[in-house]
């Protein structure tokens, strides 16, 4: 589970609740069905209009990504794999990689190794794998844009909710006490709109993009590793080349052989 998403949500709600208490506002005012309807149903309606059904049906998978950590091979472990495969191919030839493919869990990496075994040219392998990355990046951006748009619509709908509330409040000004309560309730929609837009939807979109960047970076490492094998680079050359994807500290450990796959 991606605990940072859960922690962020909890802190966001604590900030609102504690902030209202410190300001002397009543928490009971948050129980406002009309405001909830305008903001959350209104946002859902706007997003439904903005995106086709084929895109919206990805929402359950997107929420799963937000609240879970995808199991991926560590970059340091990948570099060690490529180093081992390089030694193997230099001893036994490219076809020796065929026996390694069945043990690879990453479909992208397995596809790259299969093309190497099949004798495809480095240019062809690079082109195909880059196209796969580009297609994946487009899919990821499409998913993140759902939340970006929701974050854009929600605050505006909050203003709409406040206007509706003020229209209702100002329709009868005979009771000043009731008028004050009605005006206060009108701005609850604005609170929900701003909160959902800037504490939920926009941060969700950013997290999806950040996870996508990390996945793309690892796939770029895989491409460089595959091409290094086809070029017949030595183990030290591969480690030096792929080490650019690591932090300075990680790279120093890699060169010293101080590596733990479970790190």
3-class secondary structure for the chain? CCHHHHHHHHHHHHHHHHHHHHHCCCHHHHCCHHHHHHHHHHHHHHHHHHCCHHHHCCHHHHHHHHHCCCCCCCHHHHHHHHHHHHHHHHHHCHHHHHHHHCCCCCHHHHHHHHHHHCCCCHHHHHHHHHHHHHHHHHHHHHHHHHHHHHHHHHHHHHHHHHHHHHHHHHCCCCCHHHHHHHHHHHCHHHHHHHHHHHHHHHHHHHHHHHHHHHHHHHHHHHHHHHHHHHHCCCHHHHHHHHHHHCCHHHHHHHHHCCCCCCC
Given a cut of 90, whether residue 37 has pLDDT beyond it is yes
End-to-end CA distance of the chain: 18
Task: Select from 131, 121, 124 the least CA-distant residue to 231.
Answer: 121
Mean pLDDT (whole number) for 150-159:
94
pLDDT of 246 above 50? yes
Both tokens assigned to 20: 């209202």
Phi, psi of 173 (to 5 degrees): -105, 20
Phi and psi (nearest 5°) for 123? -65, -40
Which tops the pLDDT comparison, 2 or 142?
Answer: 142
Tokens of residue 24, six digits? 């002397």
Tell me the average pLDDT across 192-199: 94
Structure confidence by residue, pLDDT tens digits, 42-92: 999 999 999 999 999 999 999 999 998 876 678 888 888 888 888 888 888
Across all residues in the chain, what is the average pLDDT?
87
Q: What is the pLDDT of residue 256?
A: 67
Given a cut of 90, is residue 151 above it in pLDDT?
Answer: yes
User: Is 32's pLDDT higher than 80?
Assistant: yes
Burial of 160 per CB tally in 10 Å (0-12, 13-18, 19+)? middle
């Amino acid at each position: 589970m991606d605990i940072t998403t859960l922690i962020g949500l909890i802190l966001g709600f604590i900030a609102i609740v504690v902030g209202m208490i410190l300001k002397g506002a009543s928490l009971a005012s948050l129980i406002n069905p009309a405001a909830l309807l305008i903001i959350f149903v209104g946002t859902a309606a706007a997003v439904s209009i903005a995106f086709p059904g084929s895109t919206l049906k990805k929402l359950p998978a997107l929420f799963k990504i937000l609240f879970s950590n995808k199991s991926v091979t560590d970059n340091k472990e990948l570099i060690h794999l490529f180093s081992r495969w390089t030694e193997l191919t230099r001893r036994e030839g490219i076809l020796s990689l065929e026996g390694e493919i069945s043990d690879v869990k990453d479909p992208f990496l397995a596809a790259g190794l299969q093309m190497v075994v099949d004798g495809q040219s480095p240019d062809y392998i690079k082109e195909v794998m880059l196209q796969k990355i580009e297609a994946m990046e487009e899919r990821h951006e499409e998913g993140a844009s759902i939340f970006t748009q929701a974050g854009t619509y929600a605050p505006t709908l909050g203003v709409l909710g406040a206007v509706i509330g003020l229209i209702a409040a100002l329709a009868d000004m005979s009771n000043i006490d009731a008028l004050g309560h009605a005006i206060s309730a009108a701005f609850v929609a604005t609170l929900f709109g701003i909160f959902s837009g800037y504490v939920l939807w926009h941060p969700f979109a950013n997290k999806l993009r950040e996870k996508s960047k990390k996945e793309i970076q690892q796939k770029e490492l895989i491409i460089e590793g595959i091409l290094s094998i086809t070029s017949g680079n030595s183990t030290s050359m591969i480690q030096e080349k792929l080490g650019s994807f690591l932090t300075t500290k990680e790279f120093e450990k890699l060169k010293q052989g101080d590596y733990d796959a479970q790190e």
